[in-house]
Copies of this chain bind each other. A is one copy, B any other.
Amino acid sequence: SAAAPVTTGQVALGVIPGDGIGPEVTAEALKVLEVAAPADLKFAQTSYDLGAERYLRTGEVLPDSVLEEIRNQDALLLGAVGGKPNDPNLPPGILERGLLLKLRFELDHYVNLRPSRIYPGSVSPLSDEVLAKGEVDFVVVREGTEGPYTGNGGALRVGTPAEVATEVSVNTAYGVERVVRDAFERARRRPRKKLTLVHKTNVLVHAGQVWWRLFQQVAEEYPDVTTDYSHIDAVMIYLTTDPQRFDVIVTDNLFGDIVTDLAAAISGGIGLAASGNVNPDRTAPSMFEPVHGSAPDIAGQLIADPTAAILSGALLLDHLGHPEAAARIEAAVLADLEAREPGQQRRTPEVGDAIAARVLG
């Protein structure tokens, strides 16, 4: 069951292929997951039909009964959800709030984990001069269950010239401490053992103060971890001119959303960015997904790059207690990326096959 780390036996794996290229990349992630998993680990898959297509067909986003089934899985793999841009039948934000964020909140995914590496051969938009400074390899631990993402706030006199609309960012000591602690744990396990808090404490003083206090407080338990602090605006400069300075970043839900997209962009695009929505206490299944969207414009052509989905599978294995299996996938992806020729066009299943072969080989 979800409560304990699964090390052997049967893993109940909920799969949400989603829309557009989602099913295509998910198939490759599953292919690689199967070959990378230890022999004594078997995945019992249940597929859930959720996303824009289901909504457009049935009007349902996430029925309660489906949520309850999902809650009983050991882990979840998601492809991507989202319809055609500006589809008038798809109210903006409905899938985001009704499905993606709903799962994060319901399953208490308080650690949104986003590793960033500039792999050899990946096309970074940064200059050779910046890249020459050294290896870029950091992970963002983004809070996933509070901050400005709670939906708190409201509006008065809507549609009139006297309208006032508020958004309330909610930050609890409970919520901040647990994610900060998780980030310190992750920093401790990495060679550089460095953790950067990112916030805007000079302006957002109420929230800033609870983040700052708990960061300092938890730091005392981790004397082996070096800490520092950056304002979110300064991070924009650091990530583009000196990304090597970061090891682990911990930040709130909204800053994390922004920082991780920049991190994905500088490390060669969201085509390679994997993420985990993690419930470290294992009171509900964690969910792993590529950062990219459903790319309806290229769906069905089998030309999407499944690498980010495959790397999400590695995060899933790591979370289930199989770091060696996760490392095998990462090494296979790395080798595949190194072998890619500029201009080479491979079909989605070919990339999956190539990486699966390297995992086996």
Contacts and interface: CB of A to CB of B under 8 A. Distances in A.
A341 interface: no
Given A153-B168, A155-B210, A207-B153, A97 B202 contact: yes
Given A167-B169, A171-B165, A237-B265, A151 B92 contact: no
A228 to B, nearest CB: 11
23 contacts: A97-B202, A125-B129, A126-B126, A148-B167, A151-B205, A154-B206, A158-B210, A163-B172, A163-B210, A164-B170, A164-B171, A166-B169, A167-B206, A203-B254, A233-B258, A236-B258, A236-B265, A237-B264, A237-B269, A240-B262, A240-B266, A241-B269, A258-B258
The count of identical subunits is 2
A92 B216 CA distance: 15
Contacts of A164: 170-173
Nearest to A238: B265
Nearest to A243: B125
Interface of A: 92-93, 96-97, 101, 123-130, 148-149, 151-155, 157-174, 177, 200-210, 213, 232-234, 236-237, 240-241, 254, 257-258, 260-262, 264-266, 269-270
Nearest to A147: B167
A166 B168 contact: yes
Contacts of A266: 240
Nearest to A214: B163
Given A164-B172, A166-B168, 12 more contacts: A93-B202, A93-B205, A148-B167, A153-B169, A158-B209, A161-B173, A162-B174, A165-B171, A165-B210, A167-B169, A203-B257, A240-B265
Contacts of A93: 201-203, 205, 208
Nearest to A155: B206
A107 to B, nearest CB: 18
Contacts of A261: 233-234, 236-237
